[in-house]
Structure 1
Amino acid sequence: MMPRLVFVFIALFLAPTVCWSESLPIASISKPAIQPDGSAGFDAMVSRGYTPLFNGEDLSGWRNPYSHGEAKVVDGEIHLLGDKKFFLVTEKKYSDFRVSVEIHLPEGPANSGVMFRCHVDEDAKKKVYGYQAECDGSDRKWSGGFYDESRRGWIWPSTKGRSKDQFLAHSAESKAAFADPTVANALNRNGWNRFEITCINDLIKIEINGVQTALFRDATDASGYIGIQHHGEKGQTYRFRNLFIKELPEIPAEQHVELTEQEPVTIKRINDKVTQIDFGKVAFGNIVMPVPSGRGKASVHFGEKLNGDRIDRKPPGTVRYGMTEIRLGQERGNWIVPAPVDLRNVQQTGLTTANPPAVLMPAAWQSVIPFRWIEIEGLDADYPYEFIRRRAAYSATWNDDASAFECSDETMNRIWDLCKYSIKATTFAGVYVDGDRERIPYEADAYLNQLSHYYTDDNVTMAARTFDWLMENGTWPTEWSPHMVFMAHAEWMHTGDTQWLKHRYESLKAKTLIHRSGDDGLVRSDKLDQSRHDIVDWPQKERDGFVFTEINTVVNAFHIEALKQMAKMARAVGKVDDANAFESRIELAKASFQKTLFDESAGIYRDGVGTDHSSIHANFFPLAFGLVPEEKIDGVVAWLEERDMQCSVYAAQYFMESLFQNGSDKKAVDLILADGDRSWKHMVNSGTTISWEAWEMKYKPNQDWNHAWGAAPANLLPRFVLGVQAAKAGWDHAIIRPMPGGLKYARGKVPTAKGPINIDWNNDATFTLAVELPEGVSANIDLPAGEGTSGVFAGGEQVAATQKGDRWVVTNPVSGKVSLEVK
């Protein structure tokens, strides 16, 4: 019996086609462009960690197994010429990988493709056979199809007479998929095209120019060669360039994470069989212990939570518990005791509609789990428990001294400590992952983690690494896609690395949601989007009653903010025409957004077209993104100030930003410190040592207790309470704008790409600020204007400043050490 082939339909095929007005200049910003000059693409692939399959100079590593056909190198390209079909193949075999090849078809009749996991039979007439990603130059337009060369024929799409019977069951469905204009027109018939093929175990994915064309399971081949094809048309030249591969799985922790051995904080004998050890805080790791003498077995219990004075062995949600048995007396030295393995944490090809591959840990480490306590059962009281160590995994470059925060409220200080440690503890995988549920990056989770990592550590390469991971392993929610634009913009602003940005700029065009927008500039959501893809907040019960409609306020707020950031980045990389096109689209969308979604009678935003319901999300997202017209801001802020934390820990990042940015810092601080179970005060009072995925188990019963998106104060406190933000990419220029929020004093150290910025302010009878800037950094100062104050003074002398509302804005930038007083 043939193995059953599992097909997963691509949601992209179900997306509605949108026709844009010809008068709007969006053609260049709607999808990635491949540069005519291949060197830009080469540099971009190297920057993203790919290995060249072709060195651009000769055919080292390649061979032609046929007696016919010619392959030569011309100006950094491979040219194939011949009058019969042949393939050029690699000398090396590959198993799991992501391969990228750019193809330029000749004019006239032409057909080519990329062979992968293919085979060579030296004695056969048709020597090369196996998997192929089709490059179809005909009017049939099946480019990106999955073909089995010289074996089973067409797999996806399938067609009678050219496919095995087992594939004909999806013939109509697969042909309909290739009739979709997005897929049918993915190939640039007269230009360069980037084919990307991903193989992980039995899962095969094919993309052309960023459009997914096939996603299929087939276990026929697990490894083989990479190949390129000349179809045999006499006089035709097939051109190939930028041939790259990235072998999978990637394991970022191998290079970027270290294990730290930690001593017990307390050791307690529970009874004659059990000893409990507390390591003080939760960390991802396992333990190493002296090999016990004797015969038989003992067991080590790992726990993230206590139930009374014992490890909770049936914890709620995905709070972690596990047990590992150890043998006694059979070795000398130390045992590494691995934590139990959760299959979700290592799964590479689960349900393709659910999750991309999990981020693996180095095999040499053995498995890890988040835990604080262990209980060892079965060892005598005289065993040397004091020599047991936890091997905790943290970023290899983490610097505990890089950042600091202290203020007049002790609970806020505890919140800072919790959130800073949460960022440190969740660096264990080498990229930002979703705690310990699936151990995969999610775009929104990663962005919030990224912001906090910049403000707590001084050597942050993990953000850029996670960005590249997510561009190849994206997830499904609508608003998660624009978060990729946010991540790229944040990395550029932090590092000032325009070259890094240039290598990734084009790929970001697919992340703005513009493919779902209409002539009015607003994004549409079909029924599937409304029921599954559009998030608004997570979990679902945290949406404040949000009503989903075809045109909704939250999705469009994200879309417009993504366009705004893309326009800035386009100018930074010299894409002036793109920047102009983005800005034109922004103006159109903003006008439509205000006209369509603002409720003039209520003075706030509706959830969407077709409903009168107004959630806090429909108002704080536009406010955080600067979409509220100046004359409407006070009304929206006043409405939000009457609300409590009616959102999740994820959305709270944006809720707090909207308040801090618009003069409502007292409300923001009050919400962070609020009583009840929907605040960070509740988290620290619970005794947790890593931030949670949700405010409390009752709001998300399956939540985990090690989720960095719950650590937003790690960036909110230095950005807004201390008031330190970058004004220009790379931190050449900063903004110092403290927001006291009712606090009496605050001081701290903020890491930047140019060195730390030290801040110390007091909010008493007068407001005083002492700031120390690193060499080469200047800053604009913006200070609270207390009631009755007359200006800003330095050393008793008044400095030039302008009062704007309740703030004093110092006229001239400052540098070095500065002390100022508002009086």
Structure 2
Amino acid sequence: MNPRTLLAFIACSFACASSHALDPSISSLLRPQLSEDGKTEFEAMLSRGYKPLFNGQDLSGWRNPYPHGEAEVVDGEIHLKGNNKFFLVTDKTYSDFRISVEIHLPEGPANSGVMFRCHVDPEKEKMVYGYQAECDGSERRWSGGLFDESRRGWIWPSTPGRSEPKFLKHEKESKAAFATPTIRDALNRNGWNRFEITCFQNQITIELNGVKTVQWKDTMDASGFIAIQHHGEKGQTYRFRNLFIKELPNIVATEAVEIIEQSPVHVTKIDKDFTLVDFGKVAYGNIAVTLPKSAPFQGTMHFGEKLSKGRIDRNPPGTVRYGKSEYTTEKAESDKFIIPAPVNVKNIEQTGNHPPAVLTPNEWMPVMPFRWVEVEGWPEELKPESIVRRAAFAKGFDDNASSFECSEPLLNRIWELCKYSIKATTFAGVYVDGDRERIPYEADAYLNQLSHYAVDDDVQMAARTFDWLIENSTWPTEWAPHMVLMAHAEWIDKADGKWLSQRYESLKMKTLLDRSGPDGLVRSNQSQQQRDDIVDWPRGERDHYVFTEINTVVNAFHIEAMKKMAVMARAVGKEKDAERFEGRVELATSAFQKNLFNESTGLFRDGVGTDHSSVHANFFPLAFGIVPVDKVDGIVDWLSKQPMRCSVYAAQYLLDALFTHGADQKAIDLILAPNDRSWKHMVESGTTITWEAWDLKYKPNQDWNHAWGAAPANLLPRYVLGVQPASPGWTRATIRPHVGNLSYARGKIPTPFGPITLDWRNESTFQLDVNLPPGIEADLEVPAPENSTRVLVNGKRVEASQRNDRWILNKAVTGNVQVNVE
């Protein structure tokens, strides 16, 4: 392990662990509680694409190479018994994989583990040797540690007499990591425990009950067997179940994405050597050409996202894409010839100080984002019918599933840009962060998910991305609670109780509860303040945020995550969990309001110990409903006077907060602002996919294909049209248009029951026409024009109560409805 990787791991270990004793009353909310029969976990692993290593009936595929020890199958479990140490070993060897094994230790002295990439030598006294993920039942509590059985001893943590000298260099750091409460207490000593081990090339990661305990680089073994251990205690029975493997790399696009051939919109001869081909919009793909009937030739295909003086910009700024592929047709097997895009090495990295990049299928040949190609060296005039772009999009993406139009033409252009951004970035099968890394990040994924639901009618990618991120989490503090938000959004959209119950327990460590104190608030140590507590990205978008031990934005996400965990706990029948989460929400909210609100300014401060109030410290609590009722108007009024002082990511939450609390026109004005910090600037730049940042000067290395910048794709249907689900699965909806200064808006919103179509007009009176598909009823809250006195539904007056500037209908509606406010 190189020093850089070691330091990164140490930082991660302490970032994931709190420095104080954990509250025993919330222990069950911190550690996943595996079911007694294991059926939920078994089905969950199958649904996540894993294959069983154990069939639950017999020991097919396994062997005991020792002359001693007993292995038997009991009620779908493997039971190991013996008086001496032995291992049950797979028949097959494996190289790159992620495995999951559940272990139940016996009472009393016990030690076990999962061997991986291990070896069997019948000639040796200790015939099974190699890597082991430790399951330590002793008071030492090194469960999840990396041990090299019968070879090099302890690797992480390390200890004198049991480790080679080179590993003792990190003895202090590794033991300190295992002394932190999160890792130390990860093992459920008297219950089932899930070990998950990932090996790819030279990188090894071990997780125990959702807690990452080891991230290590080692070149000793690239492949080997998998084995489970009986430590040799007489009379002890070790139990194992749900043994699964997913071989890597996992290329999800193979089943989830399709290649579509697209014809160019313009073909322009530049000179005798170059022809410029324009496909109208950027998409991820490569090129296929129909070869002329001439002798074989060589050429170069130039791919680009940006033009400069009528030519592809070959030195674009930031990570705006340019690349070239040289080709020869000498060995072409048919007249249809595919020219792959050039490979960016970072797009295919599988190891390093970051999660693996998402790969695309080899049979596609490499793809990249581009709008234009310059064809160099074509032997004759290039005809439009001789070239196509092979573009990758999610299978079945329905361009007709949604629509939006309003009285402001620029908003319509922005919505179309954002909608296409969602479609174009589905190329990998999961939501990725554009083309710089092709890595899913939790916050990016959540924003993509919200917009994908709003523009497409059969969204499977959100759940697939959630599963990817459970296995490949990233580093920012607030990104972990986004996993709770993702699961909740999927539950609300589809009401799939089975899906949720299979994943509920994996969310507990995502709430930041392990970092919370007796008052319910999350603490951040110096490392977390300096690196992990992200607030906004890039750093220059933080509105001079002051980082302290108790961070307002971090705690806002913590409280929101626990609120949603309580909802999901009830949905899966975990009533006690729900009550405990609600108790923590109440505790933390009280402390949040007491310690972080500045009475003298009427604003939330950035944290305890500073009086600085950023916009972030106020719009996140406002968006999450944490602001006391009597303080809301003051914060909304203050935010309404501010320009866009956050990134395109945080703007999702800022605009959510403004729309929800009646500042409709301010939210619209920010989207349309005549400066370089708005979607007006993006759309007028000519881009066809949203950007990672407002402009290159705010993030010099930004890319031009980043869907976390596509928030209006969900904000305009959810707020301007006003349609949102009110119950899981859309059986009940809320329709609450936010009209601002717009005179009309109309559109189509996809739901599992079919689309909701809606058309409203806001003039001297307000009229709403809505068509609800069978299976959905809707609660209506409509604007109350000045001096309005009644509400009519299909021409008949209905009971409604006026609250501030809205009429709220007393009864839900179904079917085709026309509402008039007079």
TM-score of Structure 1 vs Structure 2, range by shorter chain: over 0.9
The within-5 A match list for 1:276-315 is: 276-291=276-291, 293-294=294-295, 297-315=298-316
Q: How far apart, CA to CA, are the structure 1 residues paired with 2:5 and 2:501?
A: 39
Q: How far apart, CA to CA, are the structure 1 residues paired with 2:69 and 2:383?
A: 72
- Shift of the alpha carbon at 1:313? 0.3
- Shift of the alpha carbon at 1:547? 1.2
Counterpart position of 1:339? 341
- Shift of the alpha carbon at 1:9? 2.8
Residue deviations 1:615-658, cap 9 Å, x none?
A: 11111111111111221111111111101111111011011100
Counterpart position of 1:454? 453
Instruction: Give the residue type in structure 2 aligned to 1:16.
Output: S
Whether 2:614 is the aligned partner of 1:615: answer: yes
Question: Quick check: 182-191 or 84-93, which moved more?
Answer: 182-191
- Shift of the alpha carbon at 1:50? 1.7
Q: How far apart, CA to CA, are the structure 2 residues paired with 1:719 and 1:768?
A: 18
Residue deviations 1:265-303, cap 9 Å, x none?
A: 100010111000000000000001134544552100000
Counterpart position of 2:234? 234
Counterpart position of 2:514? 515
Question: Quick check: 689-698 or 179-188, which moved more?
Answer: 179-188
Counterpart position of 1:471? 470
Counterpart position of 1:98? 98
Instruction: Give the residue type in structure 1 aligned to 2:422.
Output: I
- Shift of the alpha carbon at 1:336? 1.1
Q: How far apart, CA to CA, are the structure 2 residues paired with 1:5 and 1:226?
A: 29
Q: Tell me: CA distance 1:53–1:5, structure 2 relative to 1, closer, same or farther (3 Å).
A: farther
Question: Quick check: 168-177 or 98-107, which moved more?
Answer: 168-177
Instruction: Give the residue type in structure 1 aligned to 2:689.
Output: I
Question: Quick check: 183-192 or 604-613, which moved more?
Answer: 183-192
Secondary structure of residue in 2 paired with 1:585:
helix
- Shift of the alpha carbon at 1:315? 0.3
Q: Tell me: CA distance 1:620–1:812, structure 2 relative to 1, closer, same or farther (3 Å).
A: same
CA contact (8 A) 1:735 1:780 kept: yes
Counterpart position of 1:142? 142
- Shift of the alpha carbon at 1:5? 11
CA contact (8 A) 2:211 2:509 kept: no
TM-score w.r.t. the length of structure 1 is 0.97
Question: Quick check: 233-242 or 260-269, which moved more?
Answer: 233-242
Q: How far apart, CA to CA, are the structure 1 residues paired with 2:313 and 2:13?
A: 46
Question: Quick check: 557-566 or 597-606, which moved more?
Answer: 597-606
Secondary structure of residue in 2 paired with 1:314:
coil
TM-score w.r.t. the length of structure 2 is 0.97
Q: How far apart, CA to CA, are the structure 2 residues paired with 1:594 and 1:699?
A: 33
- Shift of the alpha carbon at 1:383? 4.2
Counterpart position of 2:319? 318
Q: How far apart, CA to CA, are the structure 2 residues paired with 1:160 and 1:595?
A: 49
Counterpart position of 1:596? 595
CA contact (8 A) 2:411 2:672 kept: yes
Q: How far apart, CA to CA, are the structure 2 residues paired with 1:690 and 1:480?
A: 23
Q: How far apart, CA to CA, are the structure 2 residues paired with 1:107 and 1:629?
A: 50
Counterpart position of 1:501? 500
CA contact (8 A) 1:106 1:236 kept: yes
CA contact (8 A) 2:182 2:514 kept: no
Counterpart position of 1:261? 261
Q: How far apart, CA to CA, are the structure 2 residues paired with 1:691 and 1:141?
A: 48
Q: How far apart, CA to CA, are the structure 1 residues paired with 2:106 and 2:795?
A: 77
Counterpart position of 1:441? 440
Q: Percent identity?
A: 65
The within-5 A match list for 1:197-276 is: 197-276=197-276
Counterpart position of 2:711? 712
CA contact (8 A) 1:5 1:217 kept: no
Q: Tell me: CA distance 1:122–1:406, structure 2 relative to 1, closer, same or farther (3 Å).
A: same
Q: How far apart, CA to CA, are the structure 1 residues paired with 2:565 and 2:793?
A: 40
Residue deviations 1:542-570, cap 9 Å, x none?
A: 11111111112111111111111111111
Instruction: Give the residue type in structure 2 aligned to 1:45.
Output: M
Instruction: Give the residue type in structure 2 aligned to 1:283.
Output: A
CA contact (8 A) 2:556 2:624 kept: yes
Question: Quick check: 390-399 or 595-604, which moved more?
Answer: 595-604
The within-5 A match list for 1:373-388 is: 373-384=372-383, 386-388=385-387
Q: How far apart, CA to CA, are the structure 2 residues paired with 1:349 and 1:138?
A: 33
Q: How far apart, CA to CA, are the structure 2 residues paired with 1:229 and 1:155?
A: 18
CA contact (8 A) 1:18 1:515 kept: no
Secondary structure of residue in 2 paired with 1:26:
helix
The within-5 A match list for 1:360-759 is: 360-384=359-383, 386-759=385-758
- Shift of the alpha carbon at 1:106? 1.8
Instruction: Give the residue type in structure 1 aligned to 2:347.
Output: N
Instruction: Give the residue type in structure 1 aligned to 2:19.
Output: T
Q: Tell me: CA distance 1:308–1:776, structure 2 relative to 1, closer, same or farther (3 Å).
A: same
- Shift of the alpha carbon at 1:65? 1.6
Instruction: Give the residue type in structure 2 aligned to 1:806.
Output: D
Counterpart position of 1:779? 778
Q: Tell me: CA distance 1:21–1:466, structure 2 relative to 1, closer, same or farther (3 Å).
A: closer
Secondary structure of residue in 2 paired with 1:694:
coil
Instruction: Give the residue type in structure 2 aligned to 1:536.
Output: V
CA contact (8 A) 1:267 1:386 kept: no
Residue deviations 1:65-104, cap 9 Å, x none?
A: 2222111011111011112221111112111111111111
Q: How far apart, CA to CA, are the structure 2 residues paired with 1:462 and 1:107?
A: 43
Question: Quick check: 728-737 or 373-382, which moved more?
Answer: 373-382
Q: Tell me: CA distance 1:795–1:72, structure 2 relative to 1, closer, same or farther (3 Å).
A: closer
CA contact (8 A) 1:272 1:380 kept: no
Residue deviations 1:41-86, cap 9 Å, x none?
A: 2222222222111121111111112222111011111011112221
Whether 2:18 is the aligned partner of 1:19: answer: no
CA contact (8 A) 1:291 1:329 kept: no
Root-mean-square deviation over aligned CA pairs:
1.6
Q: How far apart, CA to CA, are the structure 1 residues paired with 2:633 and 2:173?
A: 53
Residue deviations 1:646-704, cap 9 Å, x none?
A: 11110110111001101110111111111111111111110000000111111111000
Secondary structure of residue in 2 paired with 1:455:
helix
Counterpart position of 1:816? 815
Counterpart position of 1:131? 131
Secondary structure of residue in 1 paired with 2:508:
helix
CA contact (8 A) 1:340 1:369 kept: yes
Q: How far apart, CA to CA, are the structure 2 residues paired with 1:675 and 1:162?
A: 66
- Shift of the alpha carbon at 1:138? 2.4
- Shift of the alpha carbon at 1:125? 3.3
Q: How far apart, CA to CA, are the structure 2 residues paired with 1:537 and 1:563?
A: 21
- Shift of the alpha carbon at 1:176? 2.9
Q: Tell me: CA distance 1:239–1:334, structure 2 relative to 1, closer, same or farther (3 Å).
A: same
Q: Tell me: CA distance 1:69–1:819, structure 2 relative to 1, closer, same or farther (3 Å).
A: same
Instruction: Give the residue type in structure 2 aligned to 1:562.
Output: A
